[in-house]
Structure 1
Amino acid sequence: MNAKPHHRLRQVSVAGLLAVLSSAAMAEEEMLPEYTFMDAIKTGKNMTSFRLRYENVQQDGLQPNNLSNAANTLNPTRNEEIKDANAVTLRSLIGWQTAPYHNWSFAAQIINVSKLSDDFNDGTNSFRTNGASNQNDKINYAKVVDPDQTDINQLYVDWTGIKNTRVRAGRQQVNLDNVRFIGDIAFRQVMQVFDGVSVFNKTIPDTEIFLAHFEKVNQIFTTERNGNLEIANARYRISPTEFLVGYGYFSNFENLGLGNAWFGAGAANLQADQSNKILGIRLDGTHPFTPNYRAHYTAEYAKQSDYSGGDDRIDAHYYKVGGGFGIDNFNLRVDQELLSSNSNTYAFQTPFGTNHLFQGWVDKFLVTPRAGIKDSFVTATYRYGDFVFFADYHVIDADTGFYTVNGGAGRSGSRYGTEWNAAVTWNVDKNWMTKLEYGKFNEGDQFAAAANTTGNAAGVRGRFHDTEKLWLTAMYTF
């Protein structure tokens, strides 16, 4: 039977409509310009910023050059008065990352650090080669570790051809968790960056996995260290603001320039293999009860031991426990962090972390003394409009007793000292930020590296002298 006239009309209308839509789609497709690599460059991400900083350091005595040979003939006499440091430096980061193009993107960033005022020791004499130093005329000054530098800061390629996965190869910044173990030390003008391959994956619901193999670390002293660093970090999101993290960091760097500081003075310890592994677990977060009230908590434990031929004295553990509360824009918490000692022969070290953020900002403990550290501290923050206020107070003890100046073989000291820090940050707009920071460390028991040292030139080597630091920073980010 033939279709009814109105059925035929409907069929013709539908067919005509599909033909029109198909023609329109083809025409639109023909009109769309091809997305080219040049378009990917134009729509990429700016990686450019400029940071101007003034840093003043007033220190009662010359901090020991723990990172170099004890027989350092370039060190000044310990009885000489240390000069205050006044450093004005400008860091310029200029870079760009393209938008993805066929699942590939490229990033390049150069760094320049320029000294506008040079009345400070930039620390590079600690890592000199064959006695040469570009700081021989500055070693009587307090340290501000911001050396001149012009280099490639980051240069990498990203591939995102697998869903929820990013593979990155090249020189790159890495910041994991609270940057205690892996960080870029971005506070300093020269940053720490890594050369190698990393993989970031979010396939498992609420889980982020970061894996990496790095073969070079570029340190803030402008020193390049070769070795192998394997990273495994898995982060599970309990809630939007609470996390459970498991991690393993496997370092096969025989020399990170820290031999004396890790194992004690003497030429033999300069050659001690620093390869080690850290395995740990971290529970950290903020639990909101209402939009205005919340609780903060942290519980973390890690074990460090020798790895791949590392010195067998490397055997220590770490914990951090603490918590607090928040009400509206105010937060307060109390914490304790332990970096344990292995019978005063070695203490837990974090050579790839952003250590400036721990044990206060005055940087007395970037390397853990062999007696270990037990840091008990309180932290408060308050946000008012575009201003953020910060203050903390640290009581810094040893894990085991340490020798004191003029002390005998019995270890008679346990308190390194106390420190308080304060800062105010003004986020002027989306591009401009300014910050004023202050830190003051007060020495406790007079630490000595060995028994029966006196308060003369030899005995002063180990002490952590009273120190005040002031920073004024202005930063523009594109």
Structure 2
Amino acid sequence: MHTLKPALLSLAVASTSHAALAAEDIGNLFTQGKPILDARYRFENVDQNNNLRDANAQTLRTRVGFQSGKWYGLSGLLEVDNVSRLGDAAYNDSRNGQTNYAMVVDPDGTEVNQALLRYDQAFGSAVLGRQRINLDNQRFVGGSAWRQNEQTYDAALAQFKPLDGLTLTYSYLDNINTIFGPENGRFDNRTNPANIEGHSHLFNAQYLLMPELAVTAYSYLLGLDNIAVTATSPLGSLSSRTSGLRLNGALGAFSYALEYARQLDYADNPMDLDSDYYLAELGYAFKGIQFKGGYEVLGGDSGPGNRAFQTPLATKHIFQGWADQFLTTPADGIEDAYLGFSAPLAGGSLQAWYHDFDTERNSDSYGSEIDLSYGHPIPWVKGLVGLVKYASYDSDDQARTVDTDKYWVQVQYSY
């Protein structure tokens, strides 16, 4: 883990008087703490209409740790993850060299997932160390928790709440522990390092004016030194400054989100970036069923190399279809028109989604996708949940993408 200067922690401790410290038992850190135990088994099958063999991956992610109690606002968290392959390595995990198989990005390994100190007080909080960071809907900064190795950040993060409804967030990122970790090897490349090095700054201000309207302004300055947008692009080509505005809220049974962002190059990016992001989304709730439809655009660029609007730190799996065909935005950009619902069913939850994909620059078709999932608690064992999930991407016979079917069977236990 990269070392960060403990300035925030020092300020937190200094702000508490010696007399006050004597009034609370430091043993609360242990007696009011709780252990963390989580185990997630997953079978994933990937069938693509190309020369790659079908992938069949069985993996187990085991997470153990301890969340302390609080002592005058101070607390700590330690969490360690292990990802283990079960059975044959009949898939390409980006590290095992099985390049004749389709990709399932769940490499084996053990890593500290979170190790942090936290300080909470009436007007905000500060966190120092390796931590989970999920901002807004995770479209630009998230943890990619769907993958077995979660993305976490070696960072300092501060949140300040000076007024009711107003939250100001700043974070300095020293290192990003990606889903491709914990280690590099001879089969990785410049698009999938285990750790993204560099210096990044995240600014986010959200003001909840009323239930009908929340306004969020943000600027994410990403200095990403050792990663590239494609395997042949120069290092640093994902460094960017993304600034935008998001409006969202609910009006009775209706909900909505409107968003715009612009992305420019930043730090030592050798590419000249200038692209736009748009989102318009409308939802409706009826008898427990949540309907939602939207239109999302990530702009392309006609210049040399892939200079389209990129989201390198996003939780990408929850956007643009579960088949994960557009984890890197194509050079021509992408337009995603989607419609779907989630509904309670027989004690569980059913989801169904449809996506129609086009290029942003000339409105050619990329294809379409259907996604289905059903999750249900497993009876007689508290904390045990089962999930089945399916994604089918149809490329419409376009040469730029490939027909892909994926399905998952998952069982997860959380203590």
| TM-score bracket relative to the smaller structure | 0.7 to 0.9
Residues 431 and 241 of structure 1: CA distance in aligned 2, closer, same or farther (over 3 Å): farther
Question: Matches of 2:175 and 2:404 in 1, distance apart?
Answer: 33
Task: Name the SS of the counterpart of 1:356 in structure 2.
Answer: helix
Higher helix fraction: Structure 1 or Structure 2?
A: 1
Q: Which residue of 2 aligns with 1:59?
A: 48
- 1:22-33 superposed matches below 5 A: none
Q: Which residue of 2 aligns with 1:286?
A: 250
Give the drift of 1:446.
Answer: 2.4
Task: Name the SS of the counterpart of 1:40 in structure 2.
Answer: helix
Task: Identify which of 406, 412, 415 aligns with 1:475.
Answer: 412
Which letter does structure 2 place at the counterpart of 1:231? L
Do residues 44 (structure 1) and 69 (structure 2) align?
A: no
- 1:70-469 superposed matches below 5 A: 81-125=51-95, 135-136=96-97, 138-160=98-120, 162-222=121-181, 223-240=194-211, 242-260=213-231, 266=232, 269-271=233-235, 273-288=237-252, 294-343=253-302, 345=304, 346-384=307-345, 386-401=347-362, 414-428=364-378, 431-447=383-399, 463-469=400-406
Which letter does structure 2 place at the counterpart of 1:341? G
Contact conserved, 1:49 with 1:476, CA < 8 A, in 2?
yes
Contact conserved, 2:228 with 2:235, CA < 8 A, in 1?
no
Question: Matches of 1:52 and 1:239 in 2, distance apart?
Answer: 41
Contact conserved, 2:196 with 2:225, CA < 8 A, in 1?
no
Question: Matches of 2:235 and 2:155 in 1, distance apart?
Answer: 26
Question: Matches of 1:303 and 1:313 in 2, distance apart?
Answer: 13
Q: Which sections of structure 2, spanning at least 5 residues, go unmatched?
A: 1-21, 182-193
Question: Matches of 1:156 and 1:210 in 2, distance apart?
Answer: 17
In the TM superposition, what whole-angstrom CA distance separates every residue of 1:424-472 from its partner, at most 9, and x where no partner exists?
Answer: 111347612211100000112524xxxxxxxxxxxxxxx3211100011
Task: Name the SS of the counterpart of 2:202 in structure 1.
Answer: strand
Q: Which residue of 2 aligns with 1:409?
A: none
Question: Matches of 2:364 and 2:147 in 1, distance apart?
Answer: 30
Question: Matches of 1:445 and 1:277 in 2, distance apart?
Answer: 35
Contact conserved, 1:376 with 1:394, CA < 8 A, in 2?
yes
Structure whose alpha-carbon radius of gyration is higher: 1
Higher strand fraction: Structure 1 or Structure 2?
A: 2
Residues 154 and 303 of structure 1: CA distance in aligned 2, closer, same or farther (over 3 Å): same
**Which segment drifts farther, 355-364 or 94-103?**
94-103
Which letter does structure 2 place at the counterpart of 1:396? F
Residues 434 and 298 of structure 1: CA distance in aligned 2, closer, same or farther (over 3 Å): same
Give the drift of 1:48.
Answer: 2.6
Residues 303 and 445 of structure 1: CA distance in aligned 2, closer, same or farther (over 3 Å): farther
Contact conserved, 1:120 with 1:143, CA < 8 A, in 2?
no
In the TM superposition, what whole-angstrom CA distance separates every residue of 1:269-314 from its partner, at most 9, and x where no partner exists?
Answer: 23454321100111123322xxxxx002110000000112323431
Give the drift of 1:42.
Answer: 2.3
Question: Matches of 1:193 and 1:57 in 2, distance apart?
Answer: 26
Contact conserved, 2:293 with 2:338, CA < 8 A, in 1?
yes
Question: Matches of 2:291 and 2:137 in 1, distance apart?
Answer: 18
Question: Matches of 1:257 and 1:191 in 2, distance apart?
Answer: 20
Give the drift of 1:177.
Answer: 1.1
Residues 272 and 175 of structure 1: CA distance in aligned 2, closer, same or farther (over 3 Å): closer
In the TM superposition, what whole-angstrom CA distance separates every residue of 1:129-186 from its partner, at most 9, and x where no partner exists?
Answer: xxxxxx22x11111110010201000000123x4222110000001111111000000
In the TM superposition, what whole-angstrom CA distance separates every residue of 1:65-106 from its partner, at most 9, and x where no partner exists?
Answer: xxxxxxxxxxxxxxxx32111111111111111111133111
Question: Matches of 1:176 and 1:388 in 2, distance apart?
Answer: 25
Residues 158 and 95 of structure 1: CA distance in aligned 2, closer, same or farther (over 3 Å): same
TM-score scaled to structure 1, two decimals?
Answer: 0.75
Residues 386 and 257 of structure 1: CA distance in aligned 2, closer, same or farther (over 3 Å): farther
Question: Matches of 1:363 and 1:255 in 2, distance apart?
Answer: 23
Size of the aligned set, in residue pairs, is 378
Which letter does structure 2 place at the counterpart of 1:251? L
Contact conserved, 1:146 with 1:189, CA < 8 A, in 2?
yes
Q: CA RMSD in A?
A: 2.0
Residues 385 and 246 of structure 1: CA distance in aligned 2, closer, same or farther (over 3 Å): farther
Which letter does structure 2 place at the counterpart of 1:283? L
Which letter does structure 2 place at the counterpart of 1:414? D
Which letter does structure 1 place at the counterpart of 2:246? R
Give the drift of 1:257.
Answer: 4.1
Give the drift of 1:333.
Answer: 2.0
Task: Name the SS of the counterpart of 1:47 in structure 2.
Answer: strand
Contact conserved, 2:227 with 2:235, CA < 8 A, in 1?
no
Question: Matches of 1:362 and 1:166 in 2, distance apart?
Answer: 37
Question: Matches of 1:219 and 1:191 in 2, distance apart?
Answer: 7
Give the drift of 1:423.
Answer: 0.6
Task: Name the SS of the counterpart of 2:87 in structure 1.
Answer: strand
Which letter does structure 2 place at the counterpart of 1:182? V
Contact conserved, 1:344 with 1:400, CA < 8 A, in 2?
no
Contact conserved, 1:329 with 1:384, CA < 8 A, in 2?
no
Q: Which residue of 2 aligns with 1:8?
A: none
Question: Matches of 2:208 and 2:109 in 1, distance apart?
Answer: 39
Moved over 4 A (4+): none
Q: Which residue of 2 aligns with 1:24?
A: none
Give the drift of 1:338.
Answer: 0.2
Which letter does structure 1 place at the counterpart of 2:244? G
